[in-house]
C-alpha cells in the first residue's frame, strides 16, 4: 500500500486535496481527519503540516508527498522532487528597508530573519556570505521594524506584505518555488500509477481539446499551428473539400490559436475541457 503525505493546512492544502480528488482518490470530508484510507486504490493519505512532509518522506516513514520546493530544500531531508505540480508558485527573496541594501555582499555581518534557516543558511554559505541568521516561526517581515533583524529572507508572492512593512527585495532570487511531488526514492508497486494519475490531472488542467473544420488544402498549415501532442486527428467530412481536425492545445494559448486558425480559414472552432487524461 502506498502511503502519501498531504498538506493539512496552509497555502497548499486546498489545491493539493482537490488534485487528489480529480485523480480519483478518496479525500477527507472533515478538516480534523488526519488519516484517510482509500482501499479501492490501495493508498493511505496522511494529512500533515506542509513543513513536516519532507521529513516524513525523506526518512522513509511515508512514500510520497506534496509540499513546497522551498520547504523541501529547507528541511535538508533526503526526499527527492519528482515533478512540479503547477500551483503554490512563489519566489524566495532577501528584503530590507527601502534603499538600505542593494547586493548580496551587503549582507556581510548583518542579521537576517527567516523561517527557512536551512534554505537561507545553505544559500549564504554557497555564496560565501557570512550573515547572522535569526530563525523565526513566521511573519518575519515585522522583525526589521521590531529591531531583531536588519534584513529578512522570505516567501514573496504578491509583495504586499513586504510593501506594507516598508521593505523591498534586493539581490538575486534565492529560489523559484512551486508545489512539488516528492518521493522517498523507494521503488513501490503503486507509485507509477499514482504518478500517472497526478500527471493526468496536470494535463487536464494545462490542455483543452480543440475541434475545427478546415479546407482540406490547409492541413499542413493548420498542423503547424496546432501540432498536437503526437499528431492531429484528421477525419473526413461529407463535403470532401473539408476535413475535421481534433487536437489538444495549451489552455493559456487557446484564444490566440483560435484567432490564427480562423485567419487561416478554419471554421466552427470549438473548445472543450479535458476531465482526465493518460498521456
Ligand X SMILES: O=P(O)(O)OC[C@H]1O[C@H](OP(=O)(O)OP(=O)(O)O)[C@H](O)[C@@H]1O
Q: Looking at 7-15, 27-35, 96-104, 268-276, which segment touches ligand ATP (CB under 6 A)?
A: 7-15
Position with the least CB separation from ligand X: 138
Which parts of the chain fold into alpha helices (H)?
13-22, 50-59, 69-75, 117-126, 142-145, 160-164, 191-206, 219-225, 254-264
* Residue 228 DSSP label: -
How many Cα atoms occupy the beta-carbon half-sphere of 123 within 13 Å? 24
Q: Which is nearer to ligand X, 10 or 190 (CB)?
A: 10
Select from ligand ATP, ligand X, none the partner in contact with residue 68, using the beta carbon and a kind-dependent cut-off of 5 to 8 Å. Answer: ligand ATP
Contact yes or no for 141/181 (Cβ under 8 A): no
| Cβ neighbourhood burial of 228 (10 Å; 0-12, 13-18, 19+) | middle
The distance of closest approach from Cβ of residue 90 to ligand X in the complex, given in angstroms and rounded to an integer, is: 7
Q: Is 160 in the site for ligand X (CB under 6 A)?
A: yes
Cα distance between residue 113 and residue 59, in whole Å: 28
Q: Is 12 in the site for ligand ATP (CB under 6 A)?
A: yes
The distance of closest approach from Cβ of residue 204 to ligand X in the complex, given in angstroms and rounded to an integer, is: 27
Q: Is 165 in the site for ligand ATP (CB under 6 A)?
A: no
Q: Is the Cα dihedral 7, 11, 12, 14 positive or negative?
A: positive
Q: Is 273 in the site for ligand X (CB under 6 A)?
A: no
Q: Is 135 in the site for ligand X (CB under 6 A)?
A: no
**Binding-site member from 61, 105, 139, 229 for ligand X (CB under 6 A):** 139
Q: In the stretch 186-225, what mask flags binding to ligand ATP with x, by CB under 6 A?
A: ----------------------------------------
The distance of closest approach from Cβ of residue 7 to ligand ATP in the complex, given in angstroms and rounded to an integer, is: 7
Q: In the stretch 103-142, what mask flags binding to ligand ATP with x, by CB under 6 A?
A: -----------------------------------x----
The distance of closest approach from Cβ of residue 136 to ligand X in the complex, given in angstroms and rounded to an integer, is: 9
Edge-to-edge strand ranges of the sheet holding 267-273: 233-236, 242-250, 207-215, 267-273
Q: How many residues does the chain have?
A: 279
Q: Which is nearer to ligand ATP, 71 or 202 (CB)?
A: 71
The distance of closest approach from Cβ of residue 165 to ligand X in the complex, given in angstroms and rounded to an integer, is: 9
Contact yes or no for 23/200 (Cβ under 8 A): yes
Which among 65, 170, 150, 72 has a CA at the least distance from the CA of 118?
A: 72
Q: Give the interface with ligand X as residue ranges (CB under 6 A).
A: 138-139, 141, 154-161
Amino acid at each position: 500500500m502506498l502511503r502519501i503525505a498531504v498538506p493539512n493546512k496552509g497555502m497548499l492544502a486546498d489545491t493539493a486535496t482537490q488534485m487528489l480528488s480529480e485523480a480519483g482518490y478518496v479525500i477527507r470530508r472533515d478538516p480534523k481527519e488526519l488519516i484517510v484510507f482509500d482501499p479501492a486504490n490501495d493508498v493511505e493519505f496522511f494529512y500533515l503540516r506542509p513543513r513536516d512532509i519532507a521529513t516524513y518522506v525523506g526518512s522513509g516513514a511515508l512514500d510520497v508527498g506534496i509540499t513546497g520546493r522551498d520547504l523541501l530544500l529547507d528541511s535538508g531531508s533526503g526526499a527527492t522532487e519528482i515533478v512540479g505540480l503547477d500551483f503554490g508558485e512563489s519566489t524566495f527573496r532577501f528584503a530590507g528597508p527601502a534603499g538600505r541594501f542593494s547586493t548580496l555582499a551587503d549582507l556581510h555581518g548583518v542579521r537576517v530573519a527567516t523561517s527557512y534557516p536551512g534554505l537561507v543558511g545553505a544559500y549564504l554559505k554557497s555564496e560565501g556570505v557570512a550573515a547572522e541568521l535569526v530563525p523565526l516561526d513566521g511573519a518575519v517581515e515585522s522583525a526589521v521594524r521590531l529591531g531583531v533583524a536588519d534584513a529578512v529572507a522570505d516567501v514573496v508572492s504578491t509583495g504586499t506584505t513586504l510593501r506594507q512593512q516598508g521593505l523591498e527585495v534586493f539581490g538575486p532570487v534565492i529560489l523559484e518555488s512551486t508545489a512539488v511531488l516528492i518521493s522517498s526514492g523507494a521503488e513501490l508497486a503503486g507509485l507509477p500509477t499514482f504518478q500517472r494519475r497526478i500527471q493526468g490531472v496536470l494535463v487536464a488542467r494545462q490542455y483543452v481539446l480543440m475541434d475545427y473544420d478546415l479546407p482540406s488544402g490547409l492541413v499542413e498549415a493548420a498542423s503547424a499551428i496546432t501540432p498536437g501532442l503526437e499528431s492531429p486527428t484528421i477525419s473526413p467530412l461529407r463535403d470532401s473539400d473539408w476535413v475535421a481536425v481534433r487536437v489538444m492545445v495549451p489552455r493559456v494559448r487557446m484564444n490566440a490559436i483560435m484567432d490564427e486558425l480562423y485567419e487561416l480559414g478554419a471554421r466552427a472552432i470549438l473548445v472543450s475541457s479535458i476531465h482526465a487524461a493518460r498521456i
